Amino acid sequence: MTNRITVNADRAKGTINRNIYGHFSEHLGRCIYEGLWVGEDSEIPNTKGIRNDVAAALKKMKIPVLRWPGGCFADEYHWKDGIGPKENRKQMINTHWGGVVENNHFGTHEFMMLCEMLECEPYINGNVGSGTVQEMADWVEYLTFEGVSPMAELREANGRPEPWKVKYFGVGNENWGCGGNMRPEYYADLYRQFQTYVRNYGSNRIHKIACGPNTDDYHWMETLMKQAHRFMDSITVHYYTVPGDSWQEKGAATGFPEDMWRVTLKKALFMEELISKHSAIMDQYDPDKRIGLLVDEWGTWHDVEPGTNPGFLYQQNTIRDALVAGISLNIFNEHCDRVQMANIAQLVNVLQAVILTEGEKMVLTPTYHVFDMYKVHQDAQLLDVHQSITELGEGKQAIPQISVSASKDEEGRIHISLCNLDHQAGAKVEVELRGLVDKLVSVQGTTLTSDAIDGHNTFEEKDNVAPTEFTAFNLIDQVIHAELPPMSVTVLALTAE
């Protein structure tokens, strides 16, 4: 059957915030150390300790915002341990992730330097679980105060006279779990207290972020919105796509049975229900949609690769993960009235990473390529889309064959992202363009696919799964007739004159 999609080019539904394409870097496994930071004395080419190859790849992808230092690590991180001469920085045990020694060589200055190199916004998570109000207040002052104060003088003594601009600041992380095992009523009161001292200094204006629920904990969202919505600019939600039946048996990243393909994508599609239901609760207290919903942890979570430290959460990344990314980003786009940021977990070497490293070697994953292809949606206008899509399977286990999103950029170019969720067959698609002032004259396409359901890139074969030109379409009377490859992510670029 043919899937029919109508894109109304003259009906914009809102702006897709570029931060929907954000990322997350935690002191976990080899994300920071070896992945981003190798130190100035490393033989791996670097700029002030930051890996050059990784930084260049991230700049190409146009990473808009980066969250740090966690994650669970955030609520045991004491920022003063990570400033000053590196030889004097306090070492600590990373109790959450592998029990390894954290030497704190990558701290506030190094993170802010990385964000400057990547030209992205920093998103800092403060410590509520084991920290104090004073500690959080001091960190904000250290980062953003210009003038005479103890923290500004300390910053200058550490080599940074001028303050940084910090917009996004999270007051705690997963305080329902690793951040303190709190009840929502208790955290709501703590949030109100802590955020009071996350102050604006000078021209810097902080966007205050409350810790929201785990997955479908609608009681947590209801409580936080009821008790603290006046004091927040955004609230988070975390959701991971776990293919297996439990956290103890999450399923392998590669070599998985064929029936796990559809199971995984079905779970990824649950993001639509989550956002819709959490948004409905938020609408009761924030009908004007002032408060953003931030999906600041999402992605696939598989069993770790055999032979690796279980606490490092290192997993391979396949075309299946690429489809999860494409589906999720399409959903975020469609909810851009409420979703103002999302941060895939995580940036390098951890969970659904966009980059993997091993010593001096680096490889871009299929998920990286999806983000690179989708960057055209950043800050574009979401277009109204109507669709008649074939279903795969039956009943509650059915999934749509196609996931779609469309936008128009400031130059008037239209981009349509199409995911074919069918791993066995191509998908016939008709895309009708309505509301164009000028005639559609050019269509170009890029696609990402694989010959195997667990197709992935390795350090020896880096381009097993890489984007190629997409030409399997015809343009007839403003209608694009295309056949998408099986298990593929495709982006069409349309111009008119």
297 is catalytic: yes
Q: How far apart are CA 122 and CA 472, in angstroms?
A: 40
Q: How far apart are CA 174 and CA 177, in angstroms?
A: 5
Q: How far apart are CA 234 and CA 250, in angstroms?
A: 30
CA-CA distances (angstroms) from residue 43 to 35, 46, 356? 14, 8, 18
Helix (H) or strand (E) holding 470: strand 468-470
Q: How far apart are CA 426 and CA 449, in angstroms?
A: 11
Q: Nearest CA to 265 among 428, 424, 385?
A: 424
Q: Of these residues, 26, 34, 297, 334, which one is catalytic?
A: 297
CB contact at 8 A, 171 and 194: yes
Helix residue ranges per DSSP H, 23-107: 52-60
Peptide bond before residue 71 is cis, with ω within 30 degrees of 0? yes
- What is the DSSP secondary-structure string of 312-337? G-----BHHHHHHHHHHHHHHHHTTT
Q: In a 3-state reduction of DSSP, which class is residue 266?
A: helix
Instruction: Map tokens 């506030």 to a residue.
Output: 108
Helix (H) or strand (E) holding 156: helix 150-157
Q: Angle formed by the axes of helices 259-285 and 319-334, to 10°?
A: 20
Q: Angle formed by the axes of helices 184-196 and 133-144, to 10°?
A: 40
222 is catalytic: no
Q: How far apart are CA 224 and CA 211, in angstroms?
A: 9
CB contact at 8 A, 348 and 30: yes
Q: How far apart are CA 71 and CA 27, in angstroms?
A: 8
Straight-line distance from the first to the last Cα atom of the chain, in angstroms, rounded to the nearest whole number: 32
Q: How far apart are CA 306 and CA 241, in angstroms?
A: 20
Q: Of these residues, 174, 394, 410, 411, which one is catalytic?
A: 174
Q: How far apart are CA 12 and CA 407, in angstroms?
A: 8
User: Rg for the chain (alpha carbons), in Å?
Assistant: 22
How many residues are given for the chain? 497
Q: Nearest CA to 285 among 332, 342, 334, 228?
A: 228
| Token pair listed for 120 | 């992205």
Q: How far apart are CA 299 and CA 439, in angstroms?
A: 39
- Catalytically annotated residues: 174, 297
